[in-house]
Structure 1
Amino acid sequence: MAENTDVVVIGGGYAGVMAANRLTRRDDVTVTLINPRPAFVHRVRLHQLVGGSDDAVVDYRDVLADGVRLVVDTVTRIDAAGRRVTSASGGTVGYDYLVYAVGSGSADPGVPGAAEFAHPIATLEEARRLRPVLDAAPATAAVTVVGAGPTGIETAAELAEQGRRVTLVCGGVLGPYLHPRGRRSVAGRLDRLGVTVLDGPGAKVTAVTRDAVRLADGRELPSRVTVWTAGFGVPDLAARSGLSTDALGRLRTDETLTSVDDARIVAAGDSAAPSDLPLRMSCQAAIPLGARAADTVLSRIADERPSPLNQVFAGQCISLGRRDGIFQFAHRHDVALGLHIDGRPGARLKELVCQGIVKHLADEARKPGAYRLHRVSGGAKRRQLLQARRGEAPAPPTTAERAV
């Protein structure tokens, strides 16, 4: 009888669930998923939780393979030498391979008063805490949303559509990822919703108080509720466990997502830093990274050489309330194009994407190995960046790269 292999996956988000499901392809692999929550958090809907149009959770029975053992707990330490993890409850779980998929959360604002008076929404618990605060505030109360990435834009639009008086403080450019054409479309929709958009270098927040937000140019904005969406941070579990991390705390790996310290540890999602060229923190990156991490583990179990990372991006989709949205198309290497779809078609496309995310995970749970998007070529750009970093001469594109 073949020897059984125990794989522990830390983190039950997009990357962790994809990895756990895919690992059940082999009958001789036992998969344990450790996650602090008993339900799957659909993070791309957290702004809807804040606005009251969705609860942003999915039952794990709908997205997790029957063969995956779910442990509701928080890992506090990884013992790489002993191949085991310790949890907050005091228990330990041994492993032959470990998938590190702890995801991301709110970053330290680093702004006086922000930690005390602003409300982050990067996690389910944070979004749930904000709901009663908004409910208690009068409909006419000033609401300030700090940060003009997708989360900030979506939250501002969601609240403004309800009739809230919203100011969006960009701290720079509105929608930094967007092409100028897409940015104009988003700005127009926010204007029609009544959102006041403050951008440019003077619109950086320097302090937050109980009832105001102060900006770098000296302005002080009244703010009954301040929502903080600027930046993401990652848990410090890898660093606390003595593993190599980048400046943000992401686990450093090679191009197969294998830890630079330990061939038995593989990373995926927002908490991975492959070759010190991490991908954009997003669901769009996390799911393929989860599939790639699982394939790396399965290759090592089979004594085969793992395939390197080959990520492709389609763009970025942003909801602008329940009736409007935008899909910003991009090059394969994640640079925005001039092409976008906005208005009601953009909203419908965003909703299809949100539904498709859950479907990808559910399909992989039912038929492990079904997901294949992580094998689509992302082109030669990443390889060129790696070669430039190493001082190597650029290689010609492969047949697959030319074909895409």
Structure 2
Amino acid sequence: MGGNTEVVVIGGGYAGVMAANRLTQRDDVTVTVINPRPSFVPRLRLHQLVGGSHPAVVRYEEVLAERVRLVVDTVARIDAPARVVTLESGTTVRYDHLIYAVGSTVARPAVPGVAEHAHQVAELEAAERLRTAVAALPAGVPVTVVGGGPVGIETAAELAEGGRPVTLVCGGVLGPYLHPRARRSAARRFAALGVTVLDGPGTRVTEVTADTVRLADGRTVTGGLAVWTAGFGVPGLAARSGLTTDATGRLLTDETLTSVDDERIVAAGDSSAPSDLPFRMSAYVAGCLGAHAADTVLARIAGARPAPVDMAFNAMCLSFGRRSAIFQIAHKDDRAMAIYVSGRAGAKLKEIACTLSVKHLTEEAHKPGAHSWPKDGKHRPQRLRERAVRTADAPEQVA
């Protein structure tokens, strides 16, 4: 391709920033990041914002390469045939290639009362509102956190360490990713913090009111404030723009992260669904997918064939306040091992992981193409083959 190539990156999170920085390897590529906020939000820190130990914002000047242009706005629609994005301000931006990295947000459940009465943590503004609401609660007034995944666990622990009475309603298993040994360690840590943990199938929430959370087994949890962290959702931009998505709304791609509709659109991070078999959502995965998305675009600009995505997993970590964490060691295919590091040592590893999630972006900004990650090359292709066999063996539906 002759002349200058315009690449637009929608989303300025871990995936979008990594992709934008990596694209600056070529002098003939102009990169524009479109993001609704003027600052980078390290989402790994949002529970700390609620607890008051971290602001959870970083200036884009610290993480974004100098050559990357930042547009603070929200994309309203992608016109793939015309290669144009329309912003909510009414401005249009054309592109030669597009990286779709809009991230994820909290789920919008159909549970009565959640929208009216429950706070959230998944986005900066929601975390700021929650921090204000918690600060306004009289001393001793309890908080109920719904969701036994990473966000729920970390938020509950942060509030409890700050002196709040907390009940964590899991809606199922506490820390479903964790190995059972690590899960027992998590339960012990919560007991030490004074957190009441309600788990099991009967703890699915059926209604949230102004001062109660009602469970499927008939129990009612009384509290002064409810926090909803269960599930996730993605922005509806892809579907709204007529692009193919998975059932959740993530952009459907092939294994090179290229949209099944248009080879000039590549997806990365939480909003991507390669082969309808998305990776686990995390900052680590988002950064790696962002780098791979950039590599796919750079390959196409060079007239080369993009490579399929390849990633190995090492660990997953959860903080339990500022003094303890669980660093769960994982197999390459993202299954938890029986090995984990807990306590203060785990907290140190967790802090290193949070710091590195931003440091990797700054390193890529100063030396594009530098970021690398462990590869696997075995388990994902095997999963794809097994799924293809199951699909081929499935009986045809008769109308």
TM-score interval (norm. to shorter): over 0.9
Q: Deviations over 1:79-132 (max 9, x none)?
A: 000001000000000000000000000111221001110001100010011111
1:172 corresponds in structure 2 to 172
Q: Secondary structure at the match of 1:140?
A: coil
Task: After TM superposition, give the deviation of residue 19 of structure 1 in Å.
Answer: 0.1
Q: Deviations over 1:355-401 (max 9, x none)?
A: 1111100000000001011xx32241110111122239xxxxxxxxx
2:389 corresponds in structure 1 to 391
Q: Is the 8 A contact 1:319 1:350 kept in 2?
A: yes
2:395 corresponds in structure 1 to none
1:382 corresponds in structure 2 to 380
Task: After TM superposition, give the deviation of residue 138 of structure 1 in Å.
Answer: 1.3
Q: Secondary structure at the match of 1:172?
A: coil
1:339 corresponds in structure 2 to 339
C-alpha distance in 2 between matches for 1:303 and 1:391: 33
2:133 corresponds in structure 1 to 133
Q: Secondary structure at the match of 2:55?
A: coil
1:229-308, aligned counterparts within 5 Å? 229-308=229-308
2:365 corresponds in structure 1 to 365
C-alpha distance in 1 between matches for 2:370 and 2:377: 23
C-alpha distance in 2 between matches for 1:264 and 1:372: 24
C-alpha distance in 1 between matches for 2:244 and 2:282: 22
1:326 corresponds in structure 2 to 326
Task: After TM superposition, give the deviation of residue 2 of structure 1 in Å.
Answer: 4.5
Asked if residue 350 in structure 1 is aligned to residue 350 in structure 2, the reply is yes
1:314 corresponds in structure 2 to 314
1:58-207, aligned counterparts within 5 Å? 58-207=58-207
2:209 corresponds in structure 1 to 209
Task: After TM superposition, give the deviation of residue 342 of structure 1 in Å.
Answer: 0.3
TM-score (norm 2): 0.97
Q: Deviations over 1:9-29 (max 9, x none)?
A: 000000000000000000000
Question: Which stretch of structure 1 is more off in the superposition, 382-391 or 144-153?
Answer: 382-391
Q: Residue type of the partner of 2:198?
A: L
C-alpha distance in 2 between matches for 1:102 and 1:2: 29
1:45 corresponds in structure 2 to 45
Task: After TM superposition, give the deviation of residue 284 of structure 1 in Å.
Answer: 1.7
Q: Deviations over 1:296-353 (max 9, x none)?
A: 0000000001010101111210110000111000101111000000000000100011
C-alpha distance in 1 between matches for 2:75 and 2:103: 13
Q: Secondary structure at the match of 1:357?
A: helix
Q: Residue type of the partner of 1:81?
A: P
Structure 1 unmatched runs, 5+: 393-404
Q: Is the 8 A contact 1:15 1:290 kept in 2?
A: yes
Q: Deviations over 1:60-81 (max 9, x none)?
A: 0000000000000000000000
Identity %: 67
Q: Secondary structure at the match of 2:153?
A: helix
1:15 corresponds in structure 2 to 15
Q: Is the 8 A contact 1:332 1:379 kept in 2?
A: no
Q: Residue type of the partner of 1:344?
A: R
Task: After TM superposition, give the deviation of residue 162 of structure 1 in Å.
Answer: 1.0
C-alpha distance in 2 between matches for 1:359 and 1:121: 23
Structure 2 unmatched runs, 5+: 391-399
Q: Secondary structure at the match of 1:305?
A: coil
2:394 corresponds in structure 1 to none
Q: Secondary structure at the match of 1:98?
A: strand
C-alpha distance in 1 between matches for 2:377 and 2:190: 35
Q: Residue type of the partner of 2:263?
A: A
2:396 corresponds in structure 1 to none
Q: Residue type of the partner of 1:119?
A: H
C-alpha distance in 2 between matches for 1:391 and 1:145: 41
TM-score (norm 1): 0.95
2:226 corresponds in structure 1 to 226
Q: Could you list the structure 1 runs, at least 4 aligned residues long, displaced by more than 3 angstroms after superposition.
A: none
Task: After TM superposition, give the deviation of residue 248 of structure 1 in Å.
Answer: 0.3
Q: Is the 8 A contact 1:2 1:28 kept in 2?
A: no
Q: Residue type of the partner of 2:55?
A: D
Q: Is the 8 A contact 1:313 1:330 kept in 2?
A: yes
Task: After TM superposition, give the deviation of residue 182 of structure 1 in Å.
Answer: 0.5
Q: Secondary structure at the match of 2:144?
A: strand
The count of aligned residue pairs is 390
